[in-house]
Amino acid sequence: MRYLILLLCFLGLLGCRSVGPRFDARERGSETATQVTNLTAASPEALPAEWLQPSTNLFTLGPGDRLELELLGEPTTRATSVVGPDGKLYFYLLPGIQVWGLTLAQTKQALEEKLTELIRTEPKVLLSLKSVESKRVWLLGRLNKPGLYPMSSPMTLLEAISLAGGPTTPTTVAALGGGISVSIASGGDEVADLERSFVIRDGKVLPLNFARLLQEGDMSQNIYLQPDDLVYLPSALGREVYVLGAVTAPQSVPYGQGMTLITAIAAAGGTIKDAYLSHVAIVRGSMANPEIAVIDYKDIVRARATDVFLQPHDIVYVPFTPYKVLTRYLDLILNTFGRTMGANAGALAVDPNANPVVPNVSIFGR
């Protein structure tokens, strides 16, 4: 339960990306009759250079970390101690010593300094880290071994995916480099959708391309993860439309042939008071290269404009206020979507009977 609370707390900020040409929401398509075509395509961004470099910070202790301790020359003092929720470590005759945020070397020094007050001879403490609980990454979705994994040293995205057994996809992984071998399952019914996979950091969806990393071996996408990052690989078989924002019941709606914007919003309970209906957005495509169309929904419900057909995986977002910068509007939608998906996946990882998390409605007017 502690990790579920931490997960819900760290999902909270916004980011930015650039955008390109538009698509029109009413172009005729071969399968869905009328499709959105006034889409604006997001231009891929180069990842910040620091994301591709390991952190130079040394590992520091936190609650739950387990240490093996012993006084040199005193084998009877050997003990395993866990850093408590208050950040204190208990060993031998010592009262609780505050070690939260200390490196292993600093912890050893702190213990020895306190022991000099109790022992005449100069004490030497042998200390080793047995397990890590305070720093973890969430590796969830269509992985062979999804779960919450400890992070005691720098870890790349590729190493994390390998640690979780690789994605459940029949796609062959191209030369990955770095001596990393990713195990690939036979796939079956629940294959991973690499185009819609994402990493969330501090509540922000990072603009990563999983397909380029895992299928093409593009190491420019192989970032170093940080503690509490959430990696999520959804199922490729899902055929939902996600309705978020200022609606009565934000949720995923099962896609049906011929589903329109009106029917999707109705399935989410309809719009709520003060929703800004002139700037309803439809986001389509991959998480790395999304497209966005802004629809005047008010004209549709008043029969001044024709309804538009949706496609599986579309994200429909009903805002409270009009957008002023399209790139920021797109970021708002993707981050709201990512936080919701990540929170639900994390909740189910902690408790299979957990209720779905309903996203907060963000107010966007800048």
End-to-end CA separation in angstroms for the chain: 36
The pLDDT score that the predictor gives to residue 126 is: 94
* Per-residue pLDDT at 25: 47
| Residue 174: predicted pLDDT | 41
Beta bridge partners of 350: none
Q: How far apart are CA 216 and CA 81, in angstroms?
A: 45
Cβ-count burial 145-171 (b if 16+ within 10 Å, e if not): ebebbbbeeebbbbbbbbbbbbbbbee
Q: Say how far apart CA 366 and CA 250 lie, in whole Å.
A: 23
Q: 2-47+238-350, what's its fold?
A: Outer membrane lipoprotein wza fold like (3.10.560)
Q: Which pLDDT score, from 0 to 100, does residue 232 have?
A: 95
Alpha carbons 78 and 91: distance in angstroms, whole number: 9
Residue 97 has a pLDDT of 93
User: Is beta strand 136-141 parallel, antiparallel or unpaired with respect to 230-233?
Assistant: parallel
Task: Spell out a b/e string for 86-117, using b for 16 or more CB atoms within 10 Å of the CB, else e.
Answer: ebbbebbeeeebebbebebeebbebbbebbee
CA quadruple 56, 61, 67, 73: dihedral sign:
positive
- Tens of pLDDT along the chain (366 residues) come to 555 444 444 444 334 454 444 445 444 433 333 656 677 776 767 788 999 999 888 899 999 999 999 999 899 999 999 999 999 999 988 889 999 999 999 999 999 999 998 888 889 999 999 999 999 999 999 999 999 999 988 999 999 999 999 998 564 444 444 444 444 444 445 789 999 999 999 989 998 999 999 999 999 999 999 999 999 999 888 889 999 999 999 999 999 988 999 999 999 999 999 899 999 999 999 998 899 999 999 999 998 888 999 999 999 999 999 988 888 899 999 999 998 888 888 877 777 777 776 554 333 333
Tokens encoding 213: 């990393």
3-class DSSP assignment, residue 229: coil
